[in-house]
Amino acid sequence: MTAHFDVIVIGGGHAGAEAAAAAARMGARTALLTHRSDTIGEMSCNPAIGGLGKGHLVREIDALDGLMARAADRAGIQFRLLNRSKGPAVRGPRAQADRKLYRKAMQTAIADQPNLSVVVGSAHGLQLRDGRVTGVICEDDRVFCCSAVVLTTGTFLNGLIHIGDRRIPAGRHGEPPSRGFSEQLAAAGLKLGRLKTGTPARLDGRTIAWNRLEEQKGDADPVPFSFMTSTIETPQLSCYITHTTAQGHRLIRDNMHRSPLYSGQIEGLGPRYCPSIEDKVQRFRDKESHQVFLEPEGLDDDTVYPNGISTSLPEDVQEGFIRSMPGLEEVVIKRWGYAIEYDYVDPRELTAALEVKKLPGLFLAGQINGTTGYEEAAAQGLIAGANAARKAVGQSPFVLDRSSAYIGVMIDDLVTRGVAEPYRMFTSRAEYRLSLRADNADLRLTPIGIAAGLVGGSRQAAFRTRENAVRSGLDLVRSLTLSTGEAARKGLKVNQDGLRRSALDMLGMAEIGWSGVTRLWPQLQELRPDVVEALEAEALYTGYLQRQEADIAALRKEEQLTLPSGLDYDAMPSLSAELRQKLAAVRPATLGQAARIDGMTPTALVVVLGHVRRNGRQNAA
What pLDDT is recorded for position 389? Answer: 98
What pLDDT is recorded for position 621? Answer: 43
Calculate the alpha carbon distances from 265 to 94, 252, 261, 444 in Å.
35, 17, 7, 46
**Amino acid residing at 137:** I
CA-closest candidate to residue 360, choices 134, 107, 529:
134
What pLDDT is recorded for position 510? Answer: 76
CA gap 97, 68 in Å, rounded: 12
Is residue 18 within 8 Å of residue 66, measured between CB atoms?
Answer: yes
What pLDDT is recorded for position 617? Answer: 55
CA-closest candidate to residue 435, choices 473, 474, 405:
405
Report long-range pairs for 458-461 (Cβ below 8 Å, ≥24 apart).
Answer: 458/228, 459/65, 459/227, 459/228
Is residue 333 within 8 Å of residue 342, measured between CB atoms?
Answer: no
Positions of the chain with pLDDT lower than 70, given as ranges: 1-2, 273, 616-621
What pLDDT is recorded for position 619? Answer: 52
What pLDDT is recorded for position 599? Answer: 84
Is residue 142 within 8 Å of residue 153, measured between CB atoms?
Answer: no
**Amino acid residing at 497:** D
Is residue 550 within 8 Å of residue 456, measured between CB atoms?
Answer: no
CA gap 148, 288 in Å, rounded: 53
> Which residues, in sequence order, are bridge partners of residue 463?
none
Q: Are strands 143-145 and 132-138 parallel, antiparallel or unpaired?
A: antiparallel
CA gap 198, 239 in Å, rounded: 21
CA-closest candidate to residue 364, choices 187, 197, 190, 594:
190
**Strands of 202-204's sheet, edge to edge?**
214-216, 239-243, 291-296, 303-307, 202-204, 333-335
